[in-house]
Structure 1
Amino acid sequence: MKFALIAAAFAASIGSAAVAQSTSPDGSEPAVGFEPYVGVLGGYHNFDRSSEFGTVGSRGKMDGALIEGVAGVNIPLGPVFVGVEGNVAKGFKDIDWEYGVRGRAGVRAGQSGLIYASAGYQWVNGRKGFSDEKAWTYGLGVEVGPKEIGMAGIFGEAGPRLRLQADTYDFDSIRPMAGVVFAF
Structure 2
Amino acid sequence: MKIAILAAAFAASLGTAALAQDSSPDGSEPAVSFEPYVGILGGYHNFDRRSEFGTVGSRGKMDGALVEGVAGVNVPFGPVFVGVEGNAAKGFKDIDWEYGVRGRVGLRAGQSGLIYASAGYQWVNGRRGFSDEKAVSYGLGVEVGPREIGLGGILGQAGPRLRLQADTYDFDSIRPMAGLVFAF
What is the TM-score when the length of structure 2 is the normalising length? 0.85
Could you tell me how far apart the structure 2 residues matched to 1:58 and 1:44 are? 20
Q: Over aligned residues, Cα RMSD in angstroms?
A: 1.2
Could you tell me how far apart the structure 1 residues matched to 2:92 and 2:54 are? 18
Residue 27 of structure 1 and its aligned partner are, at CA, apart by 2.9
Residue 26 of structure 1 and its aligned partner are, at CA, apart by 5.0
SS at the partner of 2:153? helix
Q: Which runs of structure 2 are paired with 1:84-163 in the superposition (5 Å)?
A: 84-163=84-163
Residue 119 of structure 1 and its aligned partner are, at CA, apart by 0.1
In the alignment, structure 2 segments of 5+ residues that lack a partner are 1-23
SS at the partner of 1:153? helix
SS at the partner of 1:32? coil
Matched, 1:42 2:48: no
In the alignment, structure 1 segments of 5+ residues that lack a partner are 1-23
Aligned length: 161
**Seq. identity, %:** 89
Please identify runs of 4+ aligned residues in structure 1 that moved more than 2 A: 24-31
Give the greater-gyration-radius structure (CA): 2
> Residue deviations 1:103-155, cap 9 Å, x none?
00000011110000000000000000000000000000000000000111222
> Residue deviations 1:30-63, cap 9 Å, x none?
3320000000000000000000100001110000
What is the TM-score when the length of structure 1 is the normalising length? 0.85
